[in-house]
Structure 1
């Protein structure tokens, strides 16, 4: 399974993860169908189906919560099933800025995020 040539494949480096599935009015029906399949086939926790921008997300989205032990299963399943939808996968470390930047991976095209509500973490030197 390959992502765009300039993208790194998601790595299982954290204990907890979020995936954010992005959609718009033209893809909402498929996104909802995918959400139901995720629940039934993967048994992971799924957040609300937001038909509005929430938090740093500049598109409609819903969240998937999963753990280190089912990372490979969830990520591989999402990559195979997502079709044209973009999905952000990131570690949950308690540092929202780093989680949505350095700890983030994309399946499909990246979506611009509004990181203005997060405090940028100082880089360690």
Structure 2
């Protein structure tokens, strides 16, 4: 199956919210403390405006749901994804981080749409299901799926893409879009 190239379809399926699960071996005091220090750092940076990231108040001291070790989750809207991902890549230490999108297909999100920062852990996927709708988290922030910001129109997106293609014409290292896909 080929990846979709229809602009409308791609925009409608864009992921707007993410989870980062910070893992630590619950009987390893050093890892547990490192995980809590990372959580506190994320909270301070959120307070200071570095990004929007909401750690769940609960820190799991034992396996829970699909997660096989101690963990906590950080919710992040797409508006801050790159900043949070970058921060965790650079500052996770020896901890592992599961990254997955939030869609109505929980099992797929954890199984095939996931990524790991650091070594991966086996998950218990049997506890995950599919829901009718995307689970909204923190809609009061008006970010992610709850965003009220106006989106670029399809025409504006096409103009932006055409401008990028024109700008990159002189860049010999940049791959060019196939001619049948360029939207002028």
State the Cα RMSD in Å: 1.4
Higher strand share: 1
Give the number of the structure whose alpha-carbon radius of gyration is greater: 2
Query: Aligned partners of 1:119, 1:41: CA distance in 2, in Å?
Result: 33
> 1:103 corresponds to which residue?
113
Number of aligned residue pairs: give it: 108
Of 40, 43, 53, 2:44 maps to: 40
1:89 and 1:105 in contact (8 A); partners too: yes
Query: Aligned partners of 2:79, 2:112: CA distance in 1, in Å?
Result: 21
> 1:8 corresponds to which residue?
none
The unaligned stretches of length 5 or more in structure 1 are 1-12, 121-125
1:10-51 deviation digits (Å, cap 9, x = unpaired): xxx510100000002321011111110011113521111110
Higher helix share: 2
Query: Aligned partners of 2:123, 2:98: CA distance in 1, in Å?
Result: 10
Tell me: higher relative CO, structure 1 or 2? Use CA pairs within 8 A at least 6 residues apart: 1
Query: Aligned partners of 1:41, 1:118: CA distance in 2, in Å?
Result: 31
> 1:117 corresponds to which residue?
127
> 2:146 corresponds to which residue?
none
> 2:22 corresponds to which residue?
21
> 1:4 corresponds to which residue?
none
TM-score by length of 2: 0.56
- Structure 1 runs of 4+ aligned residues shifted over 3 Å read none
In the TM superposition, what is the alpha-carbon distance from 1:61 to its structure 2 partner? 0.1
> 1:123 corresponds to which residue?
none
